[in-house]
């Protein structure tokens, strides 16, 4: 029997629960974060009651994101004022990107399309169904308008014994698409530096980050693998080159340094860490997206998602660029 799109989303949940090479470590339940100078205040909840928040991007003074299960494109102000912008009725939205002109790009997982949100309406931006080898997952758009899209390398439900079949697809502003990286184990969150020279992608099955150099034409060359964490999901870069990682099964947001060392940890006990983004006026506000759920509950469509924030010392990198002279 053919799966519905929501059923496929639940199959995706089943997929990410199969392989988890790095066992989660134990931390005291009351320790909200590690002892680090990065942390200046406790987590503050600004939005609660969603279903499954993903794809956060800071743009024009607001955090934009999707609710995968509710199939909506949303944004909030730093104080939590919520606005619903569009409904994606026939597929599951996941990744987001922001074009240089301010339009929002929404990734739809199973139709393998990128949709453009402009003037209050969604329209087709790119159809990747011919080039994508499998379901597409997360994405990022750089300051030159180039979209980098994660391709799982297989269609859901997942095959037995899947390996390093994931890829990254580059979509250029002139509507050309090509594969620029392969050999990835479940590519998930993607981040690009503001100088367009570095791309990092979370390998969910690989329990690490893949670190790439970006050539002038957008091609990627692998620098190496960073860190070790269980089920890395969404990520974002900061100005020191460190990566904030949402570790799904460690219930934590972890800061990984350029050498792969863990520098800080924000625990969200009993909640699954989904994604993160650095925003706010000076890009020092870390937005943490999480959900009170489990793999079994997700398979049943049971999840309650929220967004917390915390102030950090090092501002975000990438688009939009952080104010200079404030580091």
The pLDDT assigned to 265 comes to: 96
Q: If phi over 0 gives left and psi between -120 and 50 gives alpha, with beta otherwise, what is residue 130?
A: alpha
Could you tell me which residues come within 8 angstroms of residue 237 by beta carbon, excluding any fewer than 6 positions away? 191, 192, 193, 198, 200, 243, 244, 316, 317, 318
Could you tell me which residues come within 8 angstroms of residue 175 by beta carbon, excluding any fewer than 6 positions away? 126
In this structure, the number of other CB atoms found within 10 A of the CB of residue 25 comes to 13
For residue 41, pLDDT beyond 60: no
Percentage of the chain beyond pLDDT 90 is 78
H/E element, 5:
helix 5-16
For residue 221, pLDDT beyond 50: yes
In this structure, the number of other CB atoms found within 10 A of the CB of residue 213 comes to 12
Give the tens place of pLDDT for each residue, 137-181: 999 999 999 999 999 999 877 777 889 999 999 999 999 999 999
CA 215 to CA 1: how far, in whole Å? 44
Give the tens place of pLDDT for each residue, 180-191: 999 999 999 999
Range in 54-58, 92-96, 119-123, 317-321 with the lowest mean pLDDT = 317-321
Mean pLDDT of 97-103: 96
Q: Do residues 279 and 312 touch, judged by C-beta distance below 8 A?
A: no
Could you tell me which residues come within 8 angstroms of residue 305 by beta carbon, excluding any fewer than 6 positions away? 49, 50, 51, 52, 53, 67, 274, 289, 290, 291, 292
CA 37 to CA 263: how far, in whole Å? 10
For residue 87, pLDDT beyond 80: yes
For residue 321, pLDDT beyond 70: no
Domain ranges of the chain: 5-311
The pLDDT assigned to 162 comes to: 82
pLDDT, mean over the chain = 88
Q: Residue 320: which pLDDT band, with cuts at 50, 70 and 90?
A: confident
CA 258 to CA 171: how far, in whole Å? 27
The pLDDT assigned to 13 comes to: 55
The pLDDT assigned to 274 comes to: 97
| pTM across the whole model | 0.90
The yes/no answer on whether domain 5-311 falls in CATH 1.10.10.60 is: no
CA 243 to CA 257: how far, in whole Å? 7
Q: Which residues share a beta bridge with 271?
A: none
Q: Do residues 243 and 236 touch, judged by C-beta distance below 8 A?
A: yes
Give the tens place of pLDDT for each residue, 262-298: 999 999 999 999 999 999 999 999 999 999 998 889 8
CA 140 to CA 205: how far, in whole Å? 20
CA 269 to CA 100: how far, in whole Å? 37
**C-alpha torsion angle, residues 106, 47, 285, 222 (rounded to 10):** -40
For residue 324, pLDDT beyond 90: no
CA–centroid distance for 261 within its chain: 20
- Name the residue among 93, 133, 137 with its Cα closest to residue 117: 93
């Amino acid at each position: 029997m053919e799966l519905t799109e929501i059923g496929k989303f639940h199959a995706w949940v089943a997929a990410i629960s199969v392989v988890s090479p790095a066992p989660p470590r134990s931390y005291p339940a009351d320790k909200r974060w590690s002892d680090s100078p990065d942390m200046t205040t406790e987590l503050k909840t600004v939005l609660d009651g969603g279903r499954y928040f993903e794809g956060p991007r800071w743009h024009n003074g607001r955090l934009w994101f999707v609710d995968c299960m509710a199939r909506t494109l949303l944004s909030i102000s730093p104080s939590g004022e919520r606005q619903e912008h569009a409904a994606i009725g026939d597929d599951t939205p996941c990744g987001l990107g922001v074009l240089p002109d301010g339009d929002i790009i929404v990734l739809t997982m199973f139709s393998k399309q990128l949709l453009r949100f402009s003037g209050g309406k969604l329209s087709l931006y790119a159809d990747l169904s011919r080039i994508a080898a499998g379901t597409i997952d997360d994405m990022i758009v750089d300051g030159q308008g180039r979209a980098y899209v994660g391709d799982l390398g297989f269609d859901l439900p997942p095959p037995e014994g899947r390996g390093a079949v994931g890829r990254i697809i580059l979509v250029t502003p002139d509507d050309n698409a090509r594969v620029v990286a392969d050999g990835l184990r479940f590519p998930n969150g993607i981040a690009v530096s503001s100088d367009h020279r570095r791309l990092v992608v979370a390998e969910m099955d690989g329990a690490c980050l893949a670190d790439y150099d970006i050539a002038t034409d957008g091609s990627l060359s692998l620098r190496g693998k960073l860190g070790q964490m269980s089920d890395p999901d969404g990520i974002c870069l900061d100005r020191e080159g460190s990566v904030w990682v949402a570790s799904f099964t460690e219930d934590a947001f972890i800061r990984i340094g350029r050498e792969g060392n863990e520098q800080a940890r924000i625990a969200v006990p009993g909640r699954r860490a989904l994604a993160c983004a650095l925003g706010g006026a000076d890009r020092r506000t870390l937005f943490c997206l999480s959900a009170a759920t489990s793999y079994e509950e997700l398979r049943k469509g049971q999840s309650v998602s929220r967004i917390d924030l915390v102030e950090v010392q090092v501002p975000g990198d990438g688009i939009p660029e952080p104010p200079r002279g404030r580091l």
